Amino acid sequence: MGFQIGDKVIHCTFGLGEIANTEEKIIQGQLTNCYVVRTTDLTIWVPIDDLQQQSLRAPTPPGEFEKLSAILTNPGETLLEDRVQRKNQLLEQIKDGQLASICRVVRDLTYFKRSKKLNEQEKSILERATNSLLTEWNYSLGVPRVQAQQAMASLLGE
């Protein structure tokens, strides 16, 4: 799947951005065609051939987004007891950048923090996942962020 200049995209790490241009960059000693992606905070270069690794994807369409938000209403999956294994479990889940994975991380950490205190890494993962989810929610459904935040809290039973 190719993107065009002006297309909105979701980067697996940095979230919502826009294809600003294409450029050739030298990466690991090779001239590589890249998408220039601008997010709110930064500009990144993503090798066009890297798309097989799914670092960029199109924003989730509204109909599919609403189906995936149902993940938030399900009880959280049990997270591992060991904090290092738990961190690795969460990071493994979130690294594909897919909305379903982000929803599961938000749900699982939200349920987890009801019975245990989150450590700093878990707070950071939850904040990153929540921000990514709300940004895409705002864009895909065209609702204000505050409204998305309220809907998310309601789905999570908060």
Q: Is the pLDDT of residue 53 over 90?
A: no
Q: Please tell me what DSSP assigns to residue 123.
A: H
Q: Is the pLDDT of residue 132 over 80?
A: yes
Give residue 5's identity as a one-letter amino acid code. Answer: I
Degrees to nearest 5, angle at CA 123 with 8 and 155: 65
Q: How far apart are CA 135 and CA 144, in angstroms?
A: 10
Radius of gyration of the chain (CA): 17
Torsion of CA 69, 88, 145, 70, to 10 degrees: 10
Residues 17 and 66 in one domain: no
The answer to the question of residue 114 being in a domain is yes
pLDDT at residue 67, rounded to an integer: 82
Q: Is the pLDDT of residue 39 over 60?
A: yes
Note whether 20 and 5 are within 8 A (CB): yes
100-128 confidence digits (pLDDT tens): 999 999 999 999 999 999 999 999 999 99
The answer to the question of residue 72 being in a domain is yes
Residues 71 and 41 in one domain: no
Phi, then psi, of 47 in degrees rounded to 5: -55, 130
CATH, residue 146: 1.20.58.1290
Q: What is the largest CA-CA distance in the chain?
A: 51
Residues 41 and 85 in one domain: no
- The structure tokens 């060991």 sit at 82
Q: How far apart are CA 19 and CA 5, in angstroms?
A: 5
Note whether 94 and 102 are within 8 A (CB): yes
Helices (DSSP H) in the chain: which residue ranges?
Answer: 62-68, 83-94, 99-112, 120-141, 145-155
Q: Is the pLDDT of residue 4 over 70?
A: yes
The answer to the question of residue 1 being in a domain is no
Q: Which residue segment(s) compose the domain that 151 sits in?
A: 62-155
CATH, residue 53: 2.40.10.170
Q: pLDDT > 90: what percent of the chain?
A: 70
55-92 confidence digits (pLDDT tens): 889 999 998 887 887 899 988 888 999 999 999 999 99
pLDDT at residue 131, rounded to an integer: 92
The answer to the question of residue 2 being in a domain is no
Residues 51 and 68 in one domain: no
Residues 100 and 137 in one domain: yes
Residues 111 and 151 in one domain: yes
Residues 118 and 52 in one domain: no
Residues 127 and 91 in one domain: yes
Residue 44: both structure tokens together: 């990144």
pLDDT at residue 5, rounded to an integer: 95
Residues 46 and 68 in one domain: no
Q: What total number of domains does the chain contain?
A: 2
